[in-house]
Structure 1
Amino acid sequence: MEKVYNTMRNSGAACIAIGIISIVLGVATGIVAIVFGAKLLTRKDEIVF
């Protein structure tokens, strides 16, 4: 029985770690997208086709 509890504890800890990493990466990606989008909008007058 102890082996099952250890496995459950390890998988629970891994899921929490993966969740935190996913949140951090998602927030970082969102911030980068906002920054580059703002740069594109501010420099749209400089674009010549």
Structure 2
Amino acid sequence: MNEKIYKTITRTGACNLAVGIITLVTGIAAGVLLIVGGARLLKRRSEILI
């Protein structure tokens, strides 16, 4: 019985770690893309007519 609980906890921990890493990488990538897009807009702000 204890072995089943231990294996379940181990798998859950590994899954949570993997999801956390994926979330972190996705967040960093999205942040970089937003910064690059904002920089491009600021660079060409004199060309934008509203």
Partner residue, 2:31:
30
Aligned-pair Cα RMSD in Å: 0.5
Flag structure 2 segments of 5+ consecutive residues without an equivalent.
Answer: none
Deviations 1:1-49 (A, max 9, x none): 1100000000000010011001100000000000000000000000112
Gaps of 5+ in 1: none
Percent identical pairs in the alignment equals 47
TM-score, length of structure 2 as denominator length: 0.94
What TM-score does the superposition give when structure 1 sets the normalisation length? 0.96
Count of aligned pairs: 49
